[in-house]
Structure formats: structure tokens, C-alpha cells
Structure 1
């Protein structure tokens, strides 16, 4: 994974984009494309659909450049805009794709086992077990954990991305972590009995 663009650099690029600099928007797109694609694939499994939505986000940004507003966090803003774009595109065919995501929508979690970072088989095994445990959670809870711990978004940013209140984010995170603990304990108990 490429190095994340520092927030202050992203702010500078956003200001340059608002001033009419097409290269600044291109730099923003290049810097965040992989994260946006990864995020989009969690919301919808069609790669080409997600790529098209990302492209539309940046085309629309450029077209609305004269009226573009300042944003507090470029990265979380792009997450919100992409999610909105995906929902809007899916809403055009309401029979096969509902406009709003229900609490139990399919949000998949998959960790990459980068061999440079994870060299021990035990760690890879634990990572796979964590994936299994996380995939028992409802989609909304998986999305929240992904945004908080994988994307390092703040509670306010998560609230914006998920269209929730800040307190709801806290409550849902507590519920998610409690559920993870229960599932993890249930998964690990047979292993402890086997090896003890």
C-alpha cells in the first residue's frame, strides 16, 4: 500500500484545486484512488462499477470546481462523496438495488497478509480468524470497524460517512467490539481446550 498523503498536504492540494488547478485535483485522485477503490469494493462487489463511480466523483468535482467548498478532511470527504455516488447509482434501479443500505447489508472484510509485515504463520492464522469473526458482524458494524481501525477516521468523520450521529457511532462501536469479543472467545475456546 502506498504511503498515505498527510492531511496538511491534502488540504493544500484541495485549496489549489479550488483555485482552478487541475493538477492538484489529479494529485488528490492519484493519492486517494487505491483507498477509495478499496472502500468502494466494500460497498459493492462490481470492480468496474466502483471504478466508474470514483471517476464520476472526480469528474463532478472538477465540474463543480468554481463553487467547491473548503473541507475539513479531504479523505473523509471523498469517502462520503463516493458512498453517496454509489448509493445514487444503485438507486437508479430500485428493484435490484435499494437506495439506502439496511443494517444487515453485505460489507466484506478482508485483510491483506503482506509478507513483509507478517512473517509468522501464527500471525497469519490469527488474522484469518479475525476475518472470520468480523464477518459474523452485521455490515454496518463491519463498516464502522473498518473506518475506525483500518482507515483511522475520527468519530466525527465516521458519523459523516455513515450518516449517523456522533453518539450513535460510539454506541455502535461499543456494540461491535462487545460482539467481536464474544465471537473471538467462542472461536478460541475450542483451540485452548485442544492445546491445553
Structure 2
């Protein structure tokens, strides 16, 4: 849902993925990381389906331009319970996250929300390990420098 806010498209992609896995269950080898395998397969299918609907192929970098956006939202309730922060802090954090690029939000999501390591993220996104490190580092530096976020937590 972070790539395409189209529930029908997502459901179709999930059904397609599991149909594919079921039909080829005897010939598919067991992946090192089942989560990374499923996530990357589903990501590719969603981008492919979104591209079909727009008559071309999309990458994660193209999704915002094509009307899709990798959404990363702050879970306000969990954030408030953990950090006992105010609504202003949640808004500041959401604003800072919205200021990141699609690629940065996707990597931050996979790294910190899903708890994946760089190798798993690399398998999912197809980006090089070094790219993931650089993008995550740049995104975190950008979040640290965000003035509204600094005021909210300062």
C-alpha cells in the first residue's frame, strides 16, 4: 500500500504472487530470506500492474510522478505512547518524512519499520548495498537537520 494506494491493484498483485508460488511450488528453491523474497516479488508485481494501468513500466523513482507515492506515515498512537510526544511532534515528524524522496522513504521504512538489514533491503529493492547505506545516511541526516523536528524534540 506504500507504493500504490489502490486496494484492488494490491489484492490482485498478492493473488498473482501466491498463485505463481503455488503453481511452481515444486520447482522453486527455498529463499535465504522468505520475507525479502515475498516483499521484492510483491513490489515488482505492484509496479508492473501500476505500469500496465498507465501503459508503461514504472520504477520506485517514477511512482510519484505517475500518481503513486511511497507513503510512510507515522503511527501516531504508538509514537505518542513510546515517546509521550504531542500532536505537534507527530505532525513535525510526518512533515519531515514527507520531505524525503520516495527512495529515501522506502529504505527508511524497510530498515526501521520492518527491521531489515541492508542485504535484505538490497534483495527487495534491487539497489546496491552501498546505495542503501548512502541513501539511509542521507535521509537520517536530512531528518536530523529538519528545523520543525528539532523544535518538536528540542
Give the TM bin, normalised by the shorter chain: 0.7 to 0.9
Answer with 46-55 or 147-156: which moved more: 46-55
**Equivalent position of 2:141 in the other structure:** 178
User: Partners of 1:175 and 1:114 in 2: how far apart?
Assistant: 27
Which residue of 122, 136, 143 maps to 1:159?
122
Q: Alpha-carbon deviations, 1:109-144, whole Å to 9, x = none? A: 1122347x7287625542332111111000100000
1:187 aligns with 2:148: yes
Shift of 1:99: 2.3
Hey, what does 2:60 align to over in structure 1?
101
Provide the TM-score with structure 1 as the length reference: 0.67
- The CA distance in 2 between the partners of 1:44 and 1:113, in whole Å, is 22
The secondary structure found in structure 1 opposite 2:5 is coil
Post-superposition offset of 1:82: 0.1
Please tell me whether Structure 1 or Structure 2 has the larger radius of gyration of its CA atoms: 1
Q: What value does the CA root-mean-square deviation take over the aligned residues? A: 2.7
Mapped partners of 2:21, 2:153: distance in 1 = 53
Question: Is 1:130 aligned to residue 89 of structure 2?
Answer: no
1:89, distance to aligned residue in structure 2 (A): 1.5
Cα distance in 1, alignment partners of residues 20 and 39 from structure 2: 15
CA contact (8 A) 1:54 1:82 kept: yes
In the alignment, what sits opposite 1:146?
109
For these two proteins, the number of residue pairs brought into alignment is 150
Q: 1:191: how far off?
A: 6.1
Output the CA distance in 1 between the equivalents of 2:51 and 2:63. Answer: 18
SS at 2:76 equivalent: coil
The question of whether the paired residues in 1 share the 8 Å contact of 2:48 and 2:57 is answered with no
- 1:77: Cα distance to partner? 1.0
TM-score, normalised by the number of residues in structure 2: 0.83
Indicate how the Cα distance of structure 1 residues 45 and 191 shifts in structure 2: closer, same or farther if over 3 A, else same. closer
Change (3 A) 1:141 1:60: same
| Structure of greater relative contact order (alpha carbons < 8 Å, 6+ residues apart) | 2
